[in-house]
Amino acid sequence: MRHDVFIAGYGGQGVLLAGNLLSYAAIYEGNNVSFFPAYGVEKRGGAAMCTIVFADGDTGSPVVGSPTVSLLLNPLSFEKYAAKVKRGGVCIVNSSLVDITGVELPGIEIIPIPMNQLALEIGDVRMVNMVACGAYSEMSGALAISSLEAALKKALPERNHRLIPANITAIEAGARAARAKKA
Amino acid sequence: MNSPVTEKIFVKGNEAVAMAALEAGCRCYFGYPITPQSDIPEYLSRELPKTGGEFLQAESEIGAINMLLGASAAGVRAMTSSSGPGISLKQEGISYMAGSELPGVIVDIMRQGPGLGGIDASQADYFQATRGGGHGGYRIIVLAPNSVQEMYDLTMLAFDLSDLYRIPAMVLADSVIGQMKESIVANARPEVVLPEKGWAVRGRGEGTEQNVVKSLKLGDGEMEKFHWMMHDRYQLLADKENRWEEYQTDDAELIVTAFGSTSRISKTAVTMAREAGMKVGLMRPVTLFPFPKPAYAALSERCKLFLTIELSTGQMVDDVRLSVARDAEVAFYGRPPGAGSLPTPEELFEQIAHRYRARPAVAEVTL
B267 touches chain A (CB under 8 A): yes
Q: What is the pLDDT of residues B27-81, one digit of tens each?
A: 999 999 999 999 999 999 999 999 999 999 999 999 999 999 999 999 999 999 9
pLDDT at B340: 67
- Calpha distance B129→B169 (Å, rounded): 10
pLDDT band at B290 (very low <50, low <70, confident <90, very high): very high
- Contact criterion met (CB < 8 Å) for A64 and B344: yes
Share above pLDDT 70 across residues of chain B, in percent, rounded to a whole number: 95
How does pLDDT run across A126-167, given as a tens digit for each residue?
A: 999 999 999 999 999 999 999 999 999 999 999 999 999 999
Q: How far is A118 from chain B (nearest CA, A)?
A: 27
Q: How is B147-211 classified by DSSP, letter by letter?
A: SHHHHHHHHHHHHHHHHHHT--EEEEEEHHHHH-EEEEE-PPPPP------TTS-----TTSPPP
pLDDT of B228 reads 98
pLDDT at B3: 42
| Strand intervals (E) in A57-133 | 69-72, 90-94, 109-113
Burial degree of B216 (CB within 10 A; 0-12, 13-18, 19+) = exposed
Of B5, B182, B264, the CB nearest to A61: B264
Domains of chain B: 8-190+232-237 (3.40.50.970), 244-357 (3.40.50.920)
Give the pLDDT confidence score for residue B133 in this predicted structure. Answer: 95
Domains belonging to chain A, first-starting first, are: 2-182 (3.40.920.10)
Q: What is the complex's ipTM, to 2 decimals? A: 0.93
Asked if A91 reaches chain B (Cβ–Cβ under 8 Å), the answer is no
pLDDT given for residue B4 in this prediction: 41
Write b or e for each residue in B198-215: b if 16 or more Cβ atoms lie within 10 A of its Cβ, otherwise e: ebbeeeeeeeeeeeebeb
The answer to whether A182 touches A135, Cβ cutoff 8 Å, is no
Cβ of B345 and A32 within 8 Å? Answer: no
pLDDT digits (tens, 9 = 90+) for A1-46: 999 999 999 988 999 999 999 999 999 999 999 999 976 555 566 7
| Mean model confidence pLDDT for chain B | 94
Share of chain B above pLDDT 90, in %: 89
Residue in B181, B267, B268 nearest the CB of A35: B181
Q: How far apart are CA B269 and CA B316, in angstroms?
A: 19
Spatial contact of B148 and B16, defined as CB atoms under 8 Å apart: yes
- Which is higher by pLDDT, B322 or B342? B322
pLDDT of the residue at A40: 56
What confidence score (pLDDT) does residue B1 get?
A: 39
CB atoms A60 and B345 under 8 Å? yes
- pLDDT at B5 (0 to 100): 40
Note whether A153 contacts B: Cβ–Cβ < 8 A.
yes
Kindly report the nearest CA distance between residue A155 and chain B, in angstroms.
Answer: 10
Please state the pTM of the whole predicted model: 0.94
Are B8 and A154 in contact (CB < 8 Å)?
A: no
Are the beta carbons of B261 and A62 separated by less than 8 Å? yes
Report which of B300, B309, B298 is spatially closest to residue B267, judged by C-alpha positions.
B309
**What pLDDT is recorded for position B361?**
72
**B176 vs A contacts (CB less than 8 Å):** 36, 62-63
Handedness of CA A43, A139, A53, A69 (dihedral sign): negative
Q: What is the dihedral of CA B29, B32, B37, B41, to 10 degrees?
A: 40
